[in-house]
Amino acid sequence: MAELSHVDEKNRPAMVDVGGKAVTVREAHARSVVLLPREVLAALAGDEIQSKKGPVFATAIIAGVMAAKKTHELIPFCHPLGLDNCDVESQLTATVR
């Protein structure tokens, strides 16, 4: 089994020194699937769910961008990374189960 990069010699979680690493271009992808009850799907208006707090999918896009910007605050031992771009897409696929 390969050694874990973020575990020290005493098998404790540890930050990795990245001070000497070169700046590189990186790309990340994430996917989420959310199952909605029929009542919620019935509330759709033109590919958007309107709630008392605003449009659900538009809010999800904003939340996705904010999460990308704060990744280093949400994932332990993740160093802050500069973002050049962040693209969040939503797709509604109605499937009755």
Which amino acid is present at 3? E
pLDDT tens for the chain, 97 residues: list them.
567 888 988 999 998 888 898 988 888 888 888 888 888 777 776 778 888 888 988 999 999 999 999 999 998 988 888 899 999 988 877 666 6
- The residue whose two tokens read 């449009």 is 55
pTM (2 d.p.): 0.72
Count of residues in the chain: 97
Q: Where are the domains of the chain?
A: 32-97
- Contact between 60 and 53 under an 8 Å Cβ cutoff? The reply is no
Strands (E), the chain: 50-51, 54-55
